[in-house]
């Protein structure tokens, strides 16, 4: 538990406020996943579960029952069994859980089938995230079916199942001051990693050597893993949006696109920088780079409370399309090219996404069919790009194979926004100076 325990208590209280009367919410921990044969992927707690509990163990279920006389927060977790702890690590255990985690009641996870149906019984509504884990969905139906077998004894099964996501994710979408502090730290670590890579890059190196430096910097600063697989794409690999092979040798004259961010204490950062391997943008590279940079600045300038989610994207597209026309990659009227989405072959993704515990964080983008309005405390990325396919015969040869993205993390403030990722340079002269040492 890295944040103040009161932060987690506040979140649970907020969620329970939004739940309907006489209801129960059930949130399982993340399921372990197999990498190969008997090797598991490193365990990473489910973000919803961790958001409400600060509890990182597997094989646990969190239950919230607003108004329950014997306590509203019930936790099922692994028992402390010495022989098992020797193999798989220390556990909190149900005896210590109330004191350590602030729950009102804790039971061994092995007893859940006996206890949980009794907690669900008589409730009108069950909140859960259905359709995520087939195992959990099946378990939940078994608990409910168990209650149904008891109806002749007076038991009442729940009548309604509701998506927990909707309520919980609206809370997660607005970040507290404490969360923004962690996110700033994560962004600083990632900015340092990008800076180090630019300072060390040389033609002839391999993409994975740069990835190694990113990971080393993340971990040395206390981040246990990246928030997503790092993208290190040299040359036209930069045109593959989710390129993660990272095995190519870097050539003189290549641009390198790096999209990498650490996860710190369950919060993601997400930074992209694009830079010349030899420290000098070529003419065409510089032109397109400056265009994407102008779009990045224009989109950031559009971020403030009260504007709709899509406004930064629209600002970026406007700059990009005007530039593409100026350089002859598109021809026609800017407004018409925007309306017809003629830019899509060169800019096929949106300008950002919510950022938080998940790199593509939770929260609706539209409400009642309309783009939602930005509010203070929302955190998002701004990441315009241009990707000119190496085999695109519709454009002049000089542009082919250039891939550029410039991505920053931005928090909406009371009167505008704050960029969390300013510690790594993005202006042309600054990048060239950094690489040339
Ligand atoms: N790294 C994934 C993204 O930028 O959305
Ligand atoms: Mn992103
Ligand atoms: Mn990214």
For residue 270, how far is its CA from the centre of ligand 1 (angstroms)?
Answer: 6
For residue 21, how far is its CA from the centre of ligand 3 (angstroms)?
Answer: 41
Residue among 11, 91, 146, 405 flagged as catalytic: 405
- Tell me which residue of 136, 129, 65, 140 sits closest to 103, measured CA to CA: 65
In CATH, what number is assigned to the domain containing residue 398?
Answer: 3.90.230.10
**383: Cβ below 6 Å to ligand 1?**
yes
Q: Which residues span the domain enclosing 26?
A: 5-172
pLDDT at 2: 85
Query: Nearest ligand, CA of residue 228?
Result: 1
- Tens of pLDDT along 40-98? 999 999 999 999 999 999 999 999 999 999 999 999 999 999 999 999 999 999 999 99
pLDDT at 217: 98
Same domain, 238 and 380: yes
Exposure letters 53-66 (e unless 16+ CB within 10 A, then b): bbbbbbbbbbbbbb
- What does the alpha-carbon distance between residue 43 and residue 223 come to, in Å, rounded to a whole number? 15
Task: Compute the Cα dihedral for 37, 43, 44, 49 and give only its sign.
Answer: positive
Same domain, 52 and 78: yes
Task: Beginning with the edge strand found earlier in the chain, give each strand of the sheet holding 225-226 in spatial order.
Answer: 225-226, 262-264, 267-268
pLDDT at 402: 98
Q: Tokens 């890295």 correspond to what residue?
A: 2
Helix (H, G, I), strand (E, B) or coil at 267: strand
Query: Nearest ligand, CA of residue 352?
Result: 2
Same domain, 352 and 379: yes
Same domain, 191 and 157: no
Ligand 1 mutation pick, 347, 350, 383, 409, max ligand atoms within 8 A of CB: 383
Ligand 1 atom nearest residue 383's Cα: 4
**206: Cβ below 6 Å to ligand 1?**
no
**228: Cβ below 6 Å to ligand 1?**
yes
CA distances from 245 to 231, 242, 278, 361 (A): 8, 9, 22, 24
* Residue of the CA atom closest to atom 5 of ligand 1: 360
Helix (H, G, I), strand (E, B) or coil at 2: coil
- Tens of pLDDT along 342-385? 999 999 999 999 999 999 999 999 999 999 999 999 999 999 99
Same domain, 92 and 204: no
The dihedrals phi and psi of 46, each to the nearest 5 degrees, come to -60, 135
For residue 304, how far is its CA from the centre of ligand 3 (angstroms)?
Answer: 21
Is 360 an annotated catalytic residue? Answer: yes
Is 165 an annotated catalytic residue? Answer: no
For residue 93, how far is its CA from the centre of ligand 3 (angstroms)?
Answer: 38
Q: Which of 172, 196, 221 is the last residue of a domain?
A: 172
Q: Which of 140, 172, 204 is the last residue of a domain?
A: 172
Residue by residue, pLDDT tens for the chain (437 residues) are 689 999 999 999 999 999 999 999 999 999 999 999 999 999 999 999 999 999 999 999 999 999 999 999 999 999 999 999 999 999 999 999 999 999 999 999 999 999 999 999 999 999 999 999 999 999 999 999 999 999 999 999 999 999 999 899 999 999 999 999 999 999 999 999 999 999 999 999 999 999 999 999 999 999 999 999 999 999 999 999 999 999 999 999 999 999 999 999 999 999 999 999 999 999 999 999 999 999 999 999 999 999 999 999 999 999 999 999 999 999 999 999 999 999 999 999 999 999 999 999 999 999 999 999 999 999 999 999 999 999 999 999 999 999 999 999 999 999 999 999 999 999 999 999 999 99
Same domain, 109 and 235: no
Is 383 an annotated catalytic residue? Answer: yes
**How many CB atoms within 10 Å of residue 204?**
11
For residue 259, how far is its CA from the centre of ligand 2 (angstroms)?
Answer: 8
Spell out where 118-213 has E strands.
Answer: 125-128, 160-163
Contact 91, 57 (CB under 8 A): yes
- Tell me which residue of 402, 386, 435 sits closest to 203, measured CA to CA: 435
**270: Cβ below 6 Å to ligand 1?**
yes
**How many CB atoms within 10 Å of residue 119?**
18
Same domain, 206 and 317: yes
Residue among 35, 152, 242, 414 flagged as catalytic: 242
Residue 231 Cα to chain centre, angstroms: 15
**58: Cβ below 6 Å to ligand 1?**
no
Q: Tokens 């399982």 correspond to what residue?
A: 28
E strand or H helix that includes residue 159: none
Ligand 1 atom nearest residue 231's Cα: 1
Q: Tokens 């103040």 correspond to what residue?
A: 4
DSSP lists the bridge partners of residue 417 as: 412
For residue 259, how far is its CA from the centre of ligand 1 (angstroms)?
Answer: 7
Same domain, 152 and 225: no
In CATH, what number is assigned to the domain containing residue 42?
Answer: 3.40.350.10
Same domain, 141 and 161: yes
Same domain, 273 and 370: yes
**259: Cβ below 6 Å to ligand 1?**
yes
Same domain, 403 and 322: yes
Q: Which of 141, 172, 203 is the last residue of a domain?
A: 172
Domains identified in the chain, total number? 2
pLDDT at 172: 98
**409: Cβ below 6 Å to ligand 1?**
no
- What does the alpha-carbon distance between residue 142 and residue 160 come to, in Å, rounded to a whole number? 15
Same domain, 407 and 328: yes
Residues within 5 Å of ion ligand 2 by Cβ?
Answer: 270, 381
Is 429 an annotated catalytic residue? Answer: no
């Amino acid at each position: 538990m890295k944040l103040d325990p009161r932060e987690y208590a506040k979140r649970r209280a907020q969620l329970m406020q939004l739940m309907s009367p006489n209801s129960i919410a059930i949130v399982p921990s993340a399921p372990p996943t197999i990498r190969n044969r008997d090797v598991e992927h490193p365990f990473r707690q489910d973000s919803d579960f961790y958001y409400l509990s600060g509890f990182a163990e597997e094989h646990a279920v969190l239950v919230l029952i607003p108004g329950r006389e014997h306590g509203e927060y019930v936790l099922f977790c692994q028992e402390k069994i010495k022989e098992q702890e020797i193999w798989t690590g220390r556990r909190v255990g149900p005896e210590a859980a109330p004191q350590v985690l602030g729950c009102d009641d804790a039971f061994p996870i092995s007893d859940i089938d006996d206890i949980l149906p009794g907690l669900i019984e008589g409730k009108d509504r069950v909140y859960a995230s259905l359709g995520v884990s087939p195992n959990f969905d099946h378990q939940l139906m078994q608990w409910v079916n168990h209650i149904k077998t008891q109806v002749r004894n007076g038991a009442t099964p729940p009548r309604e199942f509701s998506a927990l996501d909707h309520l919980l994710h609206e809370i997660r979408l607005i970040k507290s001051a404490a969360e923004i502090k962690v996110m700033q730290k994560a962004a600083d670590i990632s900015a340092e990693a990008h800076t180090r890579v630019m300072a060390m890059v040389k033609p002839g190196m391999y993409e994975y050597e740069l990835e190694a430096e990113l990971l080393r910097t993340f971990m040395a600063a206390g981040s246990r893993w990246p928030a997503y697989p790092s993208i290190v794409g040299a040359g036209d690999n930069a045109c593959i949006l989710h390129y993660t092979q990272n095995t190519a040798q870097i050539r003189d004259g290549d641009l390198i696109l790096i999209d990498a961010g650490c996860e710190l204490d369950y919060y993601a950062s997400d930074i992209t920088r694009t830079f010349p391997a030899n420290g000098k943008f070529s003419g065409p590279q510089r032109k397109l780079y400056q265009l994407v940079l102008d779009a990045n600045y224009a989109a950031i300038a559009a971020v403030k409370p009260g504007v709709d989610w899509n406004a930064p994207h629209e600002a970026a597209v406007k700059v990009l399309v005007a530039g593409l026309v100026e350089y002859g990659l598109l021809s026609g009227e800017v407004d018409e090219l925007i309306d017809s989405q003629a830019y899509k072959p060169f800019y096929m993704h949106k300008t950002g996404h919510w950022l938080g515990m998940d790199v593509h964080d939770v929260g609706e983008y539209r409400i009642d069919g309309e783009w939602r309005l930005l509010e203070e405390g929302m955190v998002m990325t701004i990441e315009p790009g241009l990707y000119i396919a190496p085999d695109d015969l519709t454009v002049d040869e000089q542009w082919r194979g250039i891939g550029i993205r410039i991505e920053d993390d931005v928090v909406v403030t009371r009167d505008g926004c704050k960029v969390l990722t300013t510690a790594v340079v993005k202006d042309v002269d600054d990048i060239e100076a950094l690489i040339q040492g």
